[in-house]
Amino acid sequence: MDTDKRPERKARRIKLAAIRAKVECLGYGHLSAADLSSSDIHFGPMTLEKDHLPQYFEIYKGDIQMPRDGYVSNSWPRFKPDPWENARNLQFFLDKFVSHPVLPQNDRYPIGPRYRDYGDFPNFGLLLESHAPRWQVQTAWDMPDHRPHMKCMVIHATEGDERLLRGELLTIIDIIRGRLSHKATRASVNAPILLFSFMGSCARMLEANMDSEGLVVRATRLYDFKEEEDVDFSLSRFFARWWMGHPADMSTS
């Protein structure tokens, strides 16, 4: 007989609510290491190509190519001084790419996540704040077969650095809480999220999960698409492969 996960799921939701209340008291924008420590948030580094890889998500093992008809590539942003507009346009481009990719090995490597209408997740809340620095979740995809894993894209009206942003943490907290209250994930006590976070011309990925001790968040460096992207869209394709990948074998129960 399966163990009843409801008490542990409830306990983690309560802990997340307490962490959220602390984050809300820290002000807006960037949060310091001391802020995170005082809020029971364990923050560490993550890389996408060597040590410290994501623990709950894998990269798509097949190739992903840009459509040749220009439908996606013509949406490449024209970066301007406005961080919000740059973040919004960059996210729109990547979202368009992962929604219309060319997958030459799709028969061998099917994609992991699935598109869901944003209205299908009513227990996440608004996932936005309009005061400065403004932030807003744009896209959320889940996994089939009642897997608790989520992938999301959030945009911010600020330039980024190595510190976490309030909008990143509130997005993570609200989505994990929502997943731990959804009946489709009742077999799990852990609901990992892979967050694609856009600020200005830069983006990074964050992996987060709630364990028995607190909220664990790991983040990559900032990738500057304005400076690092090439004519073959190698960086965009790399990000798309992480979006299209499957959950890792790490247990969530």
In the DSSP assignment, the letter for residue 119 is G
Residue with tokens 């983690």, as numbered in its chain: 12
Contact indicator for 169, 135 with CB cutoff of 8 Å: no
The domain ranges of the chain are 6-244
- At residue 141, what is the residue type? W
9-43 pLDDT, tens digit each:
999 999 999 999 999 998 888 999 999 989 999 99
Contact indicator for 129, 113 with CB cutoff of 8 Å: no
152-197 pLDDT, tens digit each:
999 999 999 999 999 999 999 999 999 999 888 889 999 999 999 9
Across the chain, mean pLDDT equals 92
39-87 pLDDT, tens digit each:
999 999 999 988 889 999 999 999 999 999 999 999 999 999 999 999 9
Q: Is the peptide bond before 133 cis (omega within 30 degrees of 0)?
A: yes
Determine how many CB atoms are found less than 10 A away from the CB of residue 149.
Answer: 25
Residue 1's pLDDT is: 44
In the DSSP assignment, the letter for residue 158 is S
How far apart, in whole angstroms, are the C-alpha atoms of residue 194 and residue 186? 20
107-142 pLDDT, tens digit each:
888 888 887 776 667 678 889 999 888 999 999 999
pTM of the predicted structure, to 2 decimals: 0.95
Residue 51's pLDDT is: 81
Q: Is 130 helix (H, G, I), strand (E, B) or coil?
A: coil
